[in-house]
Structure 1
Amino acid sequence: MNETLTYLYIVINSLTFLIFGYDKWLAKNNKRRISEQNLFLISLFFGSVGGIFGMFIFRHKISKWSFLWKFILIIIFQIIFFIFLNQQDFRNLVG
């Protein structure tokens, strides 16, 4: 089960990375963009690592503070969620 979750996490983050890159390409070519809400949504569902790489590699949205602080909130939420999950797993192991 953990191996499946690992592969799913890799796929979600790879897709997020590609979506951030695609949105940057759309921006450079004056095309209709992917909404920030959709970028947040895919990042929220555990694609934040791909989003971070996409933001820095493609230099996309890194100077827009209104986007960055919301993205940071998503990361904080995910950290709290993972801490909670790990505590629950630990309690189940101990008994």
Structure 2
Amino acid sequence: MWNYLIHNERQAVLLLYFSIVNILSFFFFALDKIKAERHQWRISENTLLLISFLGGATGALTGMVVFKHKLSKKKFTLGIPILLVFNRLLELFLFANLYQG
């Protein structure tokens, strides 16, 4: 089924990495929202931005919208979409290079 997308093991590992980091990012935003509502210890903004930078921007943006979280913070409303573009370009570059070699 994935044969048209995945041409070697390295691409499969890369796809798995980006899938996991985006799921984690989504759940970090969910957990931070829950903790904010309960006035508990929070996940730091730097941690949320770091996981987004490391490939989790799609999960972060989805979490922001689904949980209506961090939508009033410019560093997130501007930063996460920028990181999303960066993530997609990085993924395209990595997948293309792994396809060739």
Q: Normalised by the shorter chain, which TM-score bucket?
A: 0.7 to 0.9
Question: What is the aligned counterpart of 1:73 among 82, 91, 94?
Answer: 82
Normalising by structure 1, we get a TM-score of: 0.79
Task: Give the C-alpha shift of residue 53 in structure 1.
Answer: 1.0
Task: Determine what percentage of the aligned residue pairs are the same residue.
Answer: 32
Q: Which runs of 5+ in 1 are unaligned?
A: none
CA distance in 1, matches of 2:61, 2:86: 15
Q: Deviations over 1:28-74 (max 9, x none)?
A: 00012111111000000000111111111111112222321122332
Question: What is the aligned counterpart of 1:40 among 49, 55, 63?
Answer: 49
- Structure 1 residues 87, 13: closer, same or farther in 2, change over 3 A? closer
Question: What is the aligned counterpart of 2:36 among 14, 17, 27?
Answer: 27
Q: Which residue of 1 aligns with 2:4?
A: none
Normalising by structure 2, we get a TM-score of: 0.75
Q: Which residue of 1 aligns with 2:61?
A: 52
> Alignment length, in residue pairs?
92
> Any conservation in 1 of the 2:57–2:81 contact (CA below 8 Å)?
no
Higher helix residue share: 1
Q: Which runs of 5+ in 2 are unaligned?
A: 1-8
CA distance in 1, matches of 2:98, 2:20: 24
